[in-house]
Structures are given as structure tokens and as C-alpha cells.
A and B are shown apart, each in its own frame.
Chain A
Amino acid sequence: MRATLLLATCGALLAGCGGGALPPGSVEAAPPEAPGLDTAEGVAAFYANACSGCHGADGWHGAARPLADPLWWRTMPDEQIVEATAVGLGRLMPGFSKDAKGGPYIAYAGLDRDDVATFVKGLRKRWETGGEPAPAGSAVRLGDASMGGELFSAHCASCHVEGSRDSVLNPFYLANVTDQGLWSAVVFGRPDLGKAPSSLSPDEIADVVAFMASRRPSWASQGAVEPPLPTSPDPDTTRETSP
């Protein structure tokens, strides 16, 4: 009797060892079980799982720009948003489709472009509200950098003191951001962080962005070029900011 008990204990102990034998890779970042990206719940769930980490829980107050900004939605066409979401933007915004390129880590690299488009439509339904689009349009334009420098001193330098932690001319900051990102920051501002959309004209904005881009350090001149990344299936990790 006691013997059987002991044997059972030992058996259980040995079987317990089985836990250590699970292939470690078995806990994997599974592609999100999207509960229908054509439903509001599906969109909310995918946003929470894939975007909220950087763009904020409800599309505001994230480390990256707010996606719930109605002005942004009114201005940006779907194609541009789909492109950024599918392929990524710079090194910090990962792509979420099979076409995803570069970035230190590839996100899900699993969605079809059609899924991304459906998702973006859902986001638009959730966040776009009526009103005028921003006058500057949606395409990044780079104007005259020297004009931009003067405009910057006049309109921006008071808040973005050079050399301070608020600087937007910090070479490291500029190395990490794309022209698209700079441009969006000026055109749409960061309403959630107390920065209103710019009141400058579209041409002036083009000049200011050109000025900031011209201050990007030479060692980051190729935009987001990096040595080949181990996790990237594509050895060519160079890429442009936007098509």
C-alpha cells in the first residue's frame, strides 16, 4: 500500500519534469485572432492589441502621435494610412502586414493588405468627425530650408529651445523621426499634449519642415539606414519615409 503511494509520488515527480521539456519556442506571439476586422469590436480589439502600446489606449496620450485626432482623419486619405500601417514608417513605426519592412522587430507580419484596409476603414468610422481638413493637405512637401530657419526662430524656438530637452533640432531626435512625422507634428500638432495645429500657411510649413530636415545630422543622412538586422527577412533595410 505504502509502496504504491510512494511509486505514485515518484511517477508524478518524474511526470512533473515534463514541464521542463516543452520547447521554449512554443509560447509564441500568435497572430491576433482578429474577431472580424469589419466589426467595431474587432477593430477595437486589434487596435488595443497592436497599436495602443504606442498610440495610446484610446488613441490619445500615447508616446507616438494620436490616432484619434479627427483633424488628422479628415486630412489623411486611407491609402496613406494603410501604407504606413502595412509597411511601417521609419524605424519606430512597425509594419503589420506581410509587406512589413525593417524596424528592429517585425510585428505580426501576417495581415493581408486588405485586412489592413478594412481595419483602417473601421478606425475612420470610430474617430473621424465632421469639419474641414487641414489646409496643408496630406502630402509631405519640403520647401526652402533657409526661409524655414527664420520661420522656426520666429514661431517655434520659444517653446522648442535649442539644446533643451524640448528641442526638436536635437540630432538624435531628427535621426529617429521621418519627414512625415515632422510634418504631421506641425500640421496637426499634439492636441493631447497642449500643442495646437500650426497656424502657418501650407508653404511656410513646407519651409519649416525642410529646415528641420536639413538639420538632420550627416550620420543619419540616409534616413533610417542601419546594418542588416537579424530579425529582418529582407536584407535591404533601407527604405524611404513614404512612397
Chain B
Amino acid sequence: MDQALLLLLDATNYVLVIVLVAMGLVIVFGLMRVINMAHGELFLLGAYTLVVLQQAGLPYWLGLLAATVFVGMVGLLMEELVIRHIYHRFLDTILATWGLSIAIKQAVVLVFGPGAQSTAAPITAQVEIFGASYPAYRLFIMAVALLVVAATFYLFFRTRFGLAARAVIANRSMAACLGIPTRAFDRMTFAYGAALAGLAGAVMAPIMSVDPQMGLGFLIPAFLAILVGGAGHLAGPVLGAGLIGATDSVTAGLWSPVMAQVVVFAMAVIAIRIFPSGLLGRGGSR
């Protein structure tokens, strides 16, 4: 019984972590049609921001805030210098962001070296859940993920800012004809996606090895989640992450991590065969 509960908790944790890491990617891909290959490196920058601030003796919470803001600003810069010139040129966005990802990674290696850095979690307690002992920080991560999803949905679907952002994405020239400053919304949407990557990096840093490769491990499941769930609606990738994450951790728990990878890929391939534009994809914007 305990075993099953722990498995369930781990699965939930993994799902929410993927959602947290994928959310920024989803916004940038789902809303702006840009595949940001540098998303993992924005995640990395978030983690390293925390490392730097903690080493300077500043508290964790400040690091979390700073990582979000700093990486959001990096996103702003990225959009202004690179992305805005290549919107709607699908392959170019992939190549350009891939180039950026390498540049950022190498810059991190130059400054910090290739080795692992460590950060300390602000919460080290264990909590009792249904008789099992579980790290409280993992619960905190889950709460952050849920908060990020809720805040993002609220921002894009319940506020006037979100309405204008969606209008710009749906019909750019018509939005401009209504007086909506389209470039400002591009910048803000991209920066928001980047800021979420930074937040995710800082949140995950204390339970990971913070090294220049850390972005990679989550990027593949995050992309799979988008593929399986579909990018037609923000809820698609969240659903995709649920499927991928649950399949992965349940198979890993009952069988082995290697089998989990195989099963996840098999499931993704089958899902994409049956629903070519994703479970919630409508293919309308293609």
C-alpha cells in the first residue's frame, strides 16, 4: 500500500515537473509557433542564477525571483535580437535557437566550468503523507507547477492582456488595425515563456546536479508532451505531460527506467499516429 502511494506521489511529482519545465516552451510554441531549442539553456540560466546568488549569501527566495526576472530579460533580448527576424520561418527558428542554446551553454562552461554546482533547498523537512515520509520540497515543487499552470491560464484566458495577446497571435495585421501594439505583445509573450523557464530552473536546481547539461533531460519529455497533447490549445501539452509523466514513472517504478523510456516513446508514437495533431490539436492554425 505504502509502495503504491509513493509511486503515485512520484508519478504526480514527475508529471508536474514536466509541466513546469514545458510550460514556457508551450507558450512560445503554442502561441508563437517558435520551437525554442534554447529553452533548456534558459532553464540552465535560471538554475545558475540561483547558484550565484546563493554563493553570494543571499536567500533562496531572492534567487528564485531573480532567476525568473533575469531569464525573462534574457528572453526579451533573444526575441529582439534574433527571434523577431525569423517568425514564420520554421526551420530558421529551430536553427537559430539551437545556435543560441550552444552559445549559452558554452558561455556557462566558460564562466563556471563544466563541473556540477550545488544549491541548497530552502525546505529540508520530510512530511508524513498517508504514513509515508516524503520530502517537503518536492511538495513545494508540485505547488509551484500548479501555480504556474493556473497563473498562465488565468493570464492568457481571463485577462485583457491575454485577450490582446491571443488576438495578435490569431490575426496580426487585424490586431494592428485595431490599435494593438503587436510587437510589444510578441516581446512580452516570449519573455513570459523565458521567465517560466528561469523559474523552473531555479525551482529544480536544489534537487538536481546543476551542470551545463542539466537542461537536456527535461527537454525531450517536454517536447514529447507537446507532440502528444497538441499545441492547438494550452491545455494540450498539460494533458500530454500527464500521459508521458505518468507512463514514465509508473513503468520505471514497476519495471525499470530503461523500459520506461521505451514504453514512453512507443506510447508517444502510437498517440501521434492516432491523433496526428495531438490529442487536443485542431490543426486549425496549420
To the question of whether A and B form a pair in one complex, the answer is no
